[in-house]
Structure 1
Amino acid sequence: MLRQSTSRLSNVYGRRQFGTSSLRLTEQSTATKSSSFKATLPKSDKKPAKADNDKSKFWKPIAIGSGVISGALIGGLFYYGRPFGDIRDEKFATENMMSASYHRSIERFREFRHDMHKPMWDDLLPDPLPEPYGRPYTLVINMDETLVYSTWSREHGWRHAKRPGVDYFLSYMSQFFEIVIFTSQPAMNAKPILDKLDPYQYAMYKLFRDGTRYENGHYIKDLSHLNRDLSKVIIMDSNPQAFSKQPENGIALKPWKGEANDNGLLEYIPFLEAVALTNPSDTRLVLKSFDGKYIPEEWSLREKEMEEAHRQQWLAEQKGKPSQRNLGSLLRGGAADQTEGPPPTYLQQMRKHVRDTFAQEQDQMKKQQELMMKDYEMQMEKMKDMKMTVWELMAQAASGQPIMPPGADGPGQPQGQPQEQGQQQQ
């Protein structure tokens, strides 16, 4: 029995191996047939389109652009190189057509550039005011590092400091000079600063960058466009390059960098005051006599010399006069009256008169300002009372009570009168 079962199992196993081998042979034969088979597409009469040439695609726009640019250059050369129609054409009379057109184009470009760098207007200021509103002299003064010093930081942004004494300088000098603040900053930046710097409008005019001339990277303040007589003009600027067109009219100031104890403006008041009071015919000659010197110190020395000369002249006159004896001198022992010293000079007298008048005007202005502030505070208090009264009236109307005048305690009662007193009068 055991042998029979073993033989049966061996027969079954052999059949299975034969089946798997036959399957493998069948798969290999089908694979070889499929690999030998080639698929073909149906033929057509249309031929495939040829690919575009890459080089033609690359050079075509370059050729078109070059042609457009060349045409524009040639057209612009003939347009801007056309004859001027005046004596300027004489410079190019001996040249051929292309060379003359080229040089005329360059000439037109230079003229255009020159016009763009000129001030926007030929006359930056209107005609001078008539007397007594006008001033005989014009004082042009810079803003940056002369009246104001500006700094910037990431924490605070832009901050502007006002130079010590600038309020007194502008107010006092406005008596003698037509003050013009001239800055190279754009109007949109400088105007808000100047509005706070000069709230009382002591400076009659304010000029900005559009009134300057741009040359070699510098903004130049050309005084010939001010519409003023240059013999009556003085410019004060911390940048000497700014008045390089008219250096004979300029006073170069030391730039102010925010020092708290600076007196740079106030030191020039005696000199400018003397210029206005002595009325020179040409301020340029006066400034020329101070070339290479610090004007406040030099003027102080000259003024002392003039006072000493005046004193010596007075002493000489006193020696030549006979002694005057009167009753007072006899009672004092016969000594002649001796004055303490010479009388003040013309400049000292005028300076004292002007400064006293200015001090009185300033006191009156302060009193008027105090009165205006009191009136303003009273008006504000009244406004507050009116607001409370309106609120009370609205509350009364909302509650259904009859609306009474402000301060009245009952209907039909006069304003501010107690109710009991009203009943007694009835």
Structure 2
Amino acid sequence: MLSKYSIRSLTLLRFPRYRFSQQQQQQKEQQDEWDERTIEAEEANPTLENKEKAFSYFRLFSRIFWWTTSALFGYNLYLNNYKTDPTQELGYQKQINDAAKYCQDQYQAFYDFMTKPAIDKLLPDIPELPFGYEIPKTLVLNISGTLLHMDYVFGVGGEIKRRNGLQRFLEKLPKMYEVVILSDDETMFTQQITQKLDPTRQIFAGAFGRESMVFEKGRYIRDLKYINRPLNRVIVLDSDPERMYQYQDNGIFIKPFDGKQNDEVLKDVLLLLEHLSKPQIKDVRAELRKFGNFDPQVKYLDEVKAREINIKQTMNKGIFGIMNQRKNPQFEQSRRL
């Protein structure tokens, strides 16, 4: 015979909705009780609803104030950058404009600190010289890919290879130029290499790494205004024209050095540099335009050979040939070279 508890259990098993309906009924009763308490609290404190409305109004006002101030700030920032006289423009607010200018100056200072050299002059100012004297022209050299090539050898480490004729090339330069290293390598690496190439410190007037270059468009750019020398007397020897796209007229761009020892590039470049160091050449940029900035030593040597052939042919003609050749404008042009 089944007890009343057994009958109740069978009822719950037979009718599962009965159990859930009881739970829903209990939840509904609890919610009704909570609503009654809330109504009683509101009746006891009538200012609660007013406080909620006031808070919602304050939040709305804060949003309007924030977006209006941001819009005016951005607009005054636009006026400072693109208008010659922002005070005459509609929407100008002095306090907001001053704040925008201050923020812009702070951002620009931080940006310059991160992307530009720490000092404005890499080389000291030119001293006052007696009349008729002048300092030699300035030659800026790049290291990696131009003078040296570094390979990684498994089990050995980094192996540095010098370009053919590098030592003779460097020994000749101080007699003609003020030689400066400005490479896109790290400063520590640049100084170590410079010490190896110039242990007596008689070749290089300064050695600077990538920290002395301008970081722009994801790469390091060589800005010649930091050299502190007249641009008409500055020559840059590099293998990558993108490192100085603003001053390509000052560049001698040669083929990158890949470690092979069979090139004679530095030997040919040295002849061109000897020509550019002459005092009568006042602007190296104009002279380099004659030969082009990409492998200009090739065209220069071709013109030198053509001049030598012309002179030999003239000498073979005798004295009358020389007199006639002097009247030829091509002969006068070859003499100027």
Query: Corresponding residue for 1:137?
Result: 137
* TM-score, length-scaled by structure 1: 0.50
Task: Give the AA of the match of 1:214.
Answer: F
Residues 1:91 and 2:92 are matched in the alignment: no
What secondary structure sits across from 1:158 in the alignment?
Answer: strand
Query: Corresponding residue for 1:300?
Result: 301
What secondary structure sits across from 1:149 in the alignment?
Answer: strand
User: Contact 2:235–2:252 at 8 Å: present in 1 too?
Assistant: yes
Structure-2 separation of matches of 1:139 and 1:232: 9
Q: Deviations over 1:311-331 (max 9, x none)?
A: 45556771289xxxxxxxxxx
Task: Give the AA of the match of 1:108.
Answer: D
Query: Corresponding residue for 2:287?
Result: 286
Task: Give the AA of the match of 1:240.
Answer: P
Task: Give the AA of the match of 2:156.
Answer: H
User: Contact 2:253–2:293 at 8 Å: present in 1 too?
Assistant: no
Query: Corresponding residue for 2:57?
Result: none
Equivalent runs, 1:6-405 vs 2, <5 Å: 90-91=85-86, 93-95=89-91, 100=97, 104=101, 107-108=104-105, 110-116=107-113, 117-128=115-126, 135-201=135-201, 202-277=203-278, 279-291=280-292, 294-311=295-312, 318-319=319-320
Structure-1 separation of matches of 2:189 and 2:321: 66
Q: Which sections of structure 1, spanning at least 5 residues, go unmatched?
A: 1-70, 322-344, 349-426
What secondary structure sits across from 2:181 in the alignment?
Answer: strand
User: Contact 2:314–2:321 at 8 Å: present in 1 too?
Assistant: no
Counterparts in 2 of 1:317 and 1:109: CA distance versus 1, 3 Å: farther
User: Contact 2:137–2:176 at 8 Å: present in 1 too?
Assistant: yes
Greater displacement, 92-101 / 295-304? 92-101
Counterparts in 2 of 1:89 and 1:230: CA distance versus 1, 3 Å: closer
Greater displacement, 300-309 / 172-181? 300-309
Task: Give the AA of the match of 1:197.
Answer: L
Structure-1 separation of matches of 2:271 and 2:278: 10
Counterparts in 2 of 1:113 and 1:287: CA distance versus 1, 3 Å: farther
What secondary structure sits across from 1:265 in the alignment?
Answer: helix
Counterparts in 2 of 1:346 and 1:254: CA distance versus 1, 3 Å: same
Greater displacement, 233-242 / 129-138? 129-138
What secondary structure sits across from 1:300 in the alignment?
Answer: helix
**Larger C-alpha radius of gyration, 1 or 2?**
1
User: Contact 2:164–2:264 at 8 Å: present in 1 too?
Assistant: yes
* TM-score, length-scaled by structure 2: 0.62
Per the TM alignment, residue 293 of structure 1 is displaced from its structure 2 partner at its CA by 5.8
Task: Give the AA of the match of 1:230.
Answer: L
User: Contact 1:140–1:181 at 8 Å: present in 2 too?
Assistant: yes
User: Contact 1:139–1:178 at 8 Å: present in 2 too?
Assistant: yes
Structure-1 separation of matches of 2:291 and 2:321: 37
User: Contact 2:139–2:179 at 8 Å: present in 1 too?
Assistant: yes
Task: Give the AA of the match of 1:107.
Answer: Q
Per the TM alignment, residue 198 of structure 1 is displaced from its structure 2 partner at its CA by 2.0
What secondary structure sits across from 2:246 in the alignment?
Answer: coil
Per the TM alignment, residue 236 of structure 1 is displaced from its structure 2 partner at its CA by 0.7
Q: Deviations over 1:364-391 (max 9, x none)?
A: xxxxxxxxxxxxxxxxxxxxxxxxxxxx
Give the number of the structure with larger relative contact order, counting CA–CA contacts within 8 Å between residues 6 or more apart. Answer: 2
Task: Give the AA of the match of 1:91.
Answer: P
Structure-2 separation of matches of 1:112 and 1:127: 25
Task: Give the AA of the match of 1:118.
Answer: K
Query: Corresponding residue for 1:30?
Result: none
What secondary structure sits across from 2:193 in the alignment?
Answer: helix
User: Contact 2:86–2:92 at 8 Å: present in 1 too?
Assistant: no
Q: Which sections of structure 2, spanning at least 5 residues, go unmatched?
A: 1-65, 323-333
Task: Give the AA of the match of 1:254.
Answer: K
Counterparts in 2 of 1:229 and 1:101: CA distance versus 1, 3 Å: closer
Paired residue total? 250
Q: Deviations over 1:109-162 (max 9, x none)?
A: 552354222222211101236589974211111011111112234522323222
Q: Deviations over 1:141-189 (max 9, x none)?
A: 1011111112234522323222221110010122111111111222222
Structure-1 separation of matches of 2:226 and 2:83: 26
Identity of aligned residues (%): 27
What secondary structure sits across from 1:214 in the alignment?
Answer: strand
What secondary structure sits across from 1:234 in the alignment?
Answer: strand
User: Contact 1:137–1:276 at 8 Å: present in 2 too?
Assistant: yes
Structure-1 separation of matches of 2:142 and 2:213: 12
Structure-2 separation of matches of 1:286 and 1:137: 14
